[in-house]
Amino acid sequence: MDRDYHVHSSYSDGRFLFQMVRAAADAGLDGVGIADHCNVSDREEMTEQKHLLGFNLDQTYERRRQAIDRLAEESDIDIYDGVEMDYHPDEEGAIADFLDDADFDYTLGAIDHVETVNVHVEAYFGSKDESERERIVDDYFDRLVALVESELFDVAAHPDVIERNPALRGLATDDHYERAAAAFADSRTLPELNAGRALAEYGEFHPTPDFLNALADRDVPVVVGTDAHKPGEVGERVRHLERYLDKRNLQPVDPMVE
């Protein structure tokens, strides 16, 4: 692993840009992709989130790009101008227009909300009975397949992020994985091997081993990302990813190579 394509900065919910770049260099990487959260939704729950959290990359990406260019002049590693874009099937037109205008080096598509609620909110999903939670997981994979088939993105970020939520964990089935893997096999969109919670309470990578097996059966390659938000997370997650890549005999690919 010589490049990390999923690092956040203070342009969304990470630390200062220069700190994240320095951490990537200290980890021995040749390149780092800054993929801050972004959405262009006019749905009430999403605009409220932008107001509460200050996720305004749709308005600040040019300023961030200038900062990346300035850092690149002083850095020994490559710095890529990426984005982690919230995806909703009803907003494909608005997303396409924004991405065409912004012209990022590469794009990650992410599904962080189901039923208008962030997938990490355990209390909300835990209050539902098992059949409702199974339906929610069905809806999540329907949306994942739609994301892949939209061809809007280079990469699908943490493609089974619902596993982070104990209330939804373990409800995905082989049928879900097979359907999603088939969609990836027919698309230019690449799944991400994401270490965002692999050293935390979740303790696994995305995709899960069964999901990764389904992708491998179809010879679908993966892109790697630490999903780091703090400088100290970069190096430890890089090492953990490298061990896992060796264990699985995987060679990650570059999302910017068509």
* Structure confidence at residue 108 as a pLDDT band (50, 70, 90): very high
pTM of the entire predicted model: 0.94
**97 against 256, higher pLDDT:** 97
Give the C-alpha separation, 222 to 190, whole Å.
6
DSSP code of residue 228: B
- Number of residues written out for the chain: 258
Is the pLDDT confidence value at 13 over 60? yes
Is the pLDDT confidence value at 214 over 70? yes
Is the pLDDT confidence value at 176 over 60? yes
> Do the Cβ atoms of 253 and 9 come closer than 8 Å?
no
Q: State residue 52's pLDDT score.
A: 79
Is the pLDDT confidence value at 222 over 60? yes
CA 237 to chain CA centroid, nearest Å: 15
Q: Is the peptide bond before 207 cis (omega within 30 degrees of 0)?
A: yes
> Going from the N-terminus, what domains does the chain have, and what CATH number goes with each?
3-248 (3.20.20.140)
Give the C-alpha separation, 125 to 132, whole Å.
9
Cβ within 8 Å of residue 222, ≥6 positions away: 190, 191, 192, 193, 212, 215, 250, 252, 253
* Structure confidence at residue 258 as a pLDDT band (50, 70, 90): low
The β-bridge partners of 3 are: 31
3-state secondary structure of 242: helix
Both tokens of residue 78? 């490559």
Both tokens of residue 106? 């590469």
Place of tokens 């993966």: 222
Q: State residue 89's pLDDT score.
A: 95
Is the pLDDT confidence value at 51 over 90? no
Q: State residue 246's pLDDT score.
A: 97
**55 against 166, higher pLDDT:** 166
